[in-house]
Amino acid sequence: MTASDQDITDASDEAVGKSAPHIYAPTRKERIIDHLRNEWQIYVMLIPTVIWLLVFLYKPMYGLQIAFKDYSIFRGVAASPWIGLEHFETLFGSDQFLRALRNTIYISLYSLLIGFPVPILLALMFNEVLNPLFKKSAQTIVYLPHFISTVIIAGIVITAFSPSAGIVNTVIGWFGYDPIYFLTKPEWFRPIFIGTTIWQEAGFQSIVYLAAIAGVSPTLYESAVVDGASRWQMMWKITIPSILPTIIIMLIIRIGNMLEVSFEMIIVLYQPATYETADVVNTYIYRQGLQNGQYDIAAAAGLFNAVVAFVLVMAANTISKRYSRTSLW
């Protein structure tokens, strides 16, 4: 290339550069305004939910300071004197609270070990049912207890385990044994409560896993059939690994709710004779706050419950993220 050719090339490049249009990059503020202008309907629909969260979830957090005050309903939250951690010292020095905490942990662990796999097994079994009519009928029967009031469920349990006319004691009588007063014996409360909770909620919880199974690619099963895999092998090698992330997420959520034992069911079923194994943190809060009027002690117990739940969720999420790369966030 001669010197004249180089000059011509440089001149043409300069002309192109001058004639090229300037590309305008909007600022972050402009992008946000443009997004709101285009998607304003979605944010309008969110307003009721945001208001509900603010009023019923965030505003009550103001009352958490009751746990650190000598609260009086006549003085109010702001005027009640600050006493620091005195209520928490009272809690951990109380045999009733320690008993309630111990019972909560036992019931939650047993429910997790026994109850958590049941919805997964139900979903796997429903997935293997080929007859549509039988499948829909079985699902309806299993889902139904979730939609029945807890009080009615408790009434069914009380009737079934009645020592005089209950079906359980009737069957026991057929074998020549004396009737057992199940609901007045502390050692029977946990099995009855855990079994009732599983019966009421397992079917409805299986919907999540059925939805996850429905999302598994059919090509995986087709390839397995070509390779000669049985239905049992397809379940173990395809279905369960495919829904494992969903199982882990549900497990994390379940661990976070470990201290949130079904309050309504226990209130209806338990009695002073079974406090030894039936009294949990939520029922302790109910008795201290509503029955005894010790709102500050109840608030301290509730705050402790919430902090433990937060720690459990964070720990479970961190461990899951590290070892399985599946997490809530």
pLDDT in tens, 14-63: 544 555 456 667 788 888 888 888 888 999 999 999 999 999 988 888 88
Q: Using one digit for the tens of pLDDT, what is the confidence trace for 60-86?
A: 888 889 999 998 888 888 888 999 899
pTM of the model: 0.79
Of 326 and 200, which is predicted with more confidence? 200
Taking only the tens place, the pLDDT of each residue in 190-214 is 999 999 999 999 999 999 999 999 9
The domain ranges of the chain are: 85-323
H-state helical runs in the chain: 3-19, 28-38, 40-53, 76-79, 86-92, 95-110, 117-128, 132-143, 150-160, 167-174, 186-214, 218-226, 231-234, 240-256, 263-269, 275-278, 281-286, 295-323
256 is written with which tokens?
Answer: 């976070």
Q: What CATH number labels 85-323?
A: 1.10.3720.10
How far, in whole angstroms, is CA 66 from its chain's centroid?
27
DSSP 261: -
As a whole number, mean pLDDT of residues 270-284 equals 88
Average pLDDT of the residues in 116-130: 92
pLDDT reported for residue 6 = 52
pLDDT tens-digit series, residues 133-166: 999 999 999 999 999 999 999 999 999 999 888 8
For the segment 241-269, the average pLDDT, to the nearest whole number, is: 87
pLDDT at 327 over 80: no
User: What gap in Å lies between CA 117 and CA 287, rounded to an integer?
Assistant: 33
